[in-house]
A = this chain, B = another copy of it.
Amino acid sequence: MNYTITNVSKMTGLAPSAIRFYEQEGLLPYLQRKSSGTRFFTDDDIERLTFIIGLKDAGLTIREIQECFTFCDRGDETIDKRIQLFQKHKSNIRSKICELEKCIQRIDDKVTFLQQKKNTSSTISDI
């Protein structure tokens, strides 16, 4: 299937301007145009965009995402090297998740504390 930029915007949640920006930054090198100049997107493009969104949410900068793709696309590195790069990204993301888990733990502690307070006394002030 082919999609217009507005279709893709609705499918991905990205603003059309953001999609154009990503193309401009080299994140969508295989994007095709009609004779009129209008962009058209394939399912592969959608998949790539979805992956971009994922990496973005995981905290990678556009530059890093671009590097990731560059790395994926080039054939002058060994597979081991590429696997290594992915593993590195993965462990970065894992540590991010860890931080968030810690945050949730802290919040849980507070809630437990408040819950206990509610069940025993009734002065509303500290923590």
Q: How far apart are the CA atoms of A36 and B108 in the complex, in Å? A: 40
The verdict on A35 contacting chain B, using a C-beta distance below 8 Å, is no
A99 interface contact, C-beta 8 A: yes
Q: What's the number of copies of this chain in the assembled complex?
A: 2
* Given known A-B contacts A83-B115, A107-B90, A100 and B57 have beta carbons under 8 A apart: yes
How far apart are the CA atoms of A108 and B75 in the complex, in Å?
18
**Chain B residue at minimal CB-CB distance from A76:** B124
Which B residues touch A79, using CB under 8 A? Answer: 114-115, 117-118, 124
Interface set of A (CB-CB < 8 Å, partner B)? 51, 54-55, 57-59, 68, 72-73, 75, 78-80, 82-83, 86-87, 89-90, 93-97, 99-104, 106-108, 110-111, 114-115, 117-118, 124-127
